[in-house]
Structure 1
């Protein structure tokens, strides 16, 4: 179980609820597809795929994680099963996407994105990655 300080909780919830997370998610996905083009291979098979549409799904999952910081794994069980068993998403892609989220947060927050704040977001996204990777065999 992850221990969150009040400062970490405040940073995550305050930032998540004060920015346009759908736009942030769209930019993060677009960055991932540009910098790591092989991550598009799954999505290229989807007829009506859009980064904006998938960003809404990703952001919904992240919102769930923010609401349940103390128990992300149990809330991500079905998401993890779907990604592992049905969608067959390479779990390495989760790191790539969360790295892109951190870059976009850094761009958005500029001067307020100190090394300390960066570490808080890295911790949050590592918890998310661990939770979504839980059902992989």
Structure 2
């Protein structure tokens, strides 16, 4: 899937992004809720208005999980196992939402990183976020 050089680029990028985890995650979530309103269904118990503490906190959790998985992509299934179970069996999230969030995360990254979001990094992030979404959806099969 990713070359060794791409894996290193990915891990380095996500280490640098973790300080902005809450901002990036909440931005991606707001984009998803705005573009795909049906995705809000799973958040009815939270205040998901722009700038809310709930949105920031959940966004931060998402980005930190993505960053953790990026540190050793060969162990992605192991790293995400608890989240797979939580989302599939307890929360019963429609797995198509993982792909939607991945796309919105790419947009949030492009805006946050500006010129540092090179075409090469964009391609690597797209590959990784696609894999991340696919691994989260594995328990649904």
Q: TM-score, normalised by structure 2?
A: 0.85
Q: Distance in 2 between matches of 1:47 and 1:100?
A: 20
Q: 1:82 aligns with which of 66, 71, 86?
A: 86
SS at structure 2 position matched to 1:88? coil
| Aligned equivalent of 1:94 | 98
Tell me which moved more, 56-65 or 97-106.
Answer: 56-65
- List, as ranges, runs of 4+ consecutive aligned residues in structure 1 with deviation greater than 3 Å: none
Q: Which runs of 5+ in 1 are unaligned?
A: none
Identify the structure with bigger relative contact order (alpha carbons < 8 Å, sequence gap 6+): 1
| Aligned equivalent of 2:120 | 116
Q: Distance in 2 between matches of 1:107 and 1:10?
A: 22
Paired residues for 1:1-137 under 5 Å? 2=1, 4-19=2-17, 20-44=20-44, 46-47=45-46, 50-137=54-141
Q: TM-score, normalised by structure 1?
A: 0.87
Q: Deviations over 1:112-136 (max 9, x none)?
A: 3233221100111011112111111
Following TM superposition, by how much is the alpha carbon of 1:47 offset from its aligned partner in structure 2, in angstroms? 4.7
Q: Distance in 2 between matches of 1:7 and 1:105?
A: 20
Following TM superposition, by how much is the alpha carbon of 1:11 offset from its aligned partner in structure 2, in angstroms? 2.1
Q: Deviations over 1:35-59 (max 9, x none)?
A: 1111101101x15662112112212
Contact 2:69/2:76 (<8 A) preserved: yes
Cα distance, 1:122–1:24 mapped onto 2, change above 3 Å:
same
Q: Distance in 2 between matches of 1:112 and 1:56?
A: 21
> How big is the alpha-carbon RMSD for the aligned residues of Structure 1 and Structure 2?
1.7
Q: Distance in 2 between matches of 1:85 and 1:25?
A: 23
Q: Which has the higher helix share?
A: 2
